[in-house]
Amino acid sequence: MGGLPAVRTIYLDNVSTTRPDPRVVSAMSPFLAEGFVNPSSPHREGQRAREMVEAARAEVALLAWCGSEEVVFTSSATEANNLALKGLCRARGRRGDRLLVSAVEHPSILQPARSLAQEGIQTMELPVDSQGRLDLDCYRRSLDPRVCLVSLMHANPEVGTLQPVLDAARLAREAGCFFHTDATLTAGLFPSIWNEAPIDLMTVSPHHFHGPRGIAALLVRGGIRLRPQEEGGTQEGGIRGGTEAVALLAGFGAAARFARFEAAERRQRLVFLQADLRRRLEKSLEDWVPTGDPVERLPGHLSLCVRYVEGEAVLALLDDEGILAGSGSACTRDAMKESHVLRAMGIDPVLGRGSLQFSFSAFNRPDEVEEVARILPEVVRRLRRISPFTPSGG
């Protein structure tokens, strides 16, 4: 049958999720078709499934440079973050009743922190600078013996800034506080961070390094006690009950193995693609402001605010052209609220409405950068011609 030619898709929303590596899909396939048994079953097929679970745990441990016994599997990074905050604070009781988080954390940190505040845990949201980076002086002054836990993400998905996790973790350890980092976006690119800093809890999610969705892990330093958030299961040492998803774990293990050997090459490639797009836009796109730290940032992540347009409108027209990007826009799709990240950075709300982000993965190519740099300026010009915010004559 005839019809319109298919629109080529350029996927640049990798901070949301990444394309599964075909090698990962291949590793999962046998357990989707036949390896469906419960790993807790005593028969030989159950034991085979158990071996797969433990093999995956070993691969995650090798990626993160931790012990296998320190890997606790969860269903998502959101669950892992909730387990870190609620599990530790509730286990500690009144032995430390303060929780420190940055003002730019993911909602899966901020919302549990606010829930804990209703249980008597004092929660403090620490300020960041204009690049979204933690104010270390304020953080240092906030540490005291009453602080139970500090949670600081490694990379911000909206503006790409890498947080000073190594310094923050060391300061927490000196003050006698536990330290958690959400390394959802970085575990597959900076796998040695657990070994380099005194981090007590770390969230890892494979769908950000070409693994499957629906599985994640919380790394828990030996000797730390967490209160389970679900009761009735003995899996994961009793910390997180529920029948294990063997196929997803097989994919997690495979993704961790490939990331371990390919992380350095991936970082180098992503930095090149991001820098190439920025250089091209500096020549072809007018009136835009880069956001986030220009140097200490997530490899392959370019974030910017374009003046006189709505970021969501830009994304819609890019979508029509086959380019899938993201927006840390001043309005969320569901709540229509100003971005808490841009607000914490002090970015003007009007400018923030034009927020965009382009995030690359191992599957993106240089010719895709050239295509985006060609199409984006024309999309912006089209919108500015009809925008009431465009200055006269713009």
Q: What does the alpha-carbon distance between residue 100 and residue 96 come to, in Å, rounded to a whole number?
A: 12
Does 148 participate in catalysis according to the annotation?
no
SS3 labels along the chain: CCCCCCCCCEECECCCCCCCCHHHHHHHHHHHHCCCCCCCCCCHHHHHHHHHHHHHHHHHHHHHCCCHHHEEEECCHHHHHHHHHHHHHHHHCCCCCEEEEECCCCHHHHHHHHHHHCCCCEEEEECECCCCCECHHHHHHHCCCCEEEEECCCECCCCCEECCHHHHHHHHHHHCCEEEEECCCCCCCCCCHHHHCCCCEEEECHHHCCCCCCCEEEEECCCCCCCCCCCCCCCHHHCCCCCCCHHHHHHHHHHHHHHHHHHHHHHHHHHHHHHHHHHHHHHHCCCEEECCCCCCECCCEEEEEECCCCHHHHHHHHHHCCEECECCCCCCCCCCCCCHHHHHCCCCHHHHCCEEEEECCCCCCHHHHHHHHHHHHHHHHHHHHHCCCCCCCC
Cβ atoms 190, 263 nearer than 8 A: yes
Tokens read off for 51: 């071996």
Axis crossing angle, helix 246-284 with helix 44-64, rounded to the nearest 10: 30
Choose, from 66, 89, 148, 331, the residue flagged as catalytic: 331
Q: What does the alpha-carbon distance between residue 43 and residue 32 come to, in Å, rounded to a whole number?
A: 19
Q: With CA atoms as reference, report the closest residue to 312 among 300, 334, 330, 287.
A: 330
Cβ atoms 161, 347 nearer than 8 A: no
* Catalytic residue annotation: 331
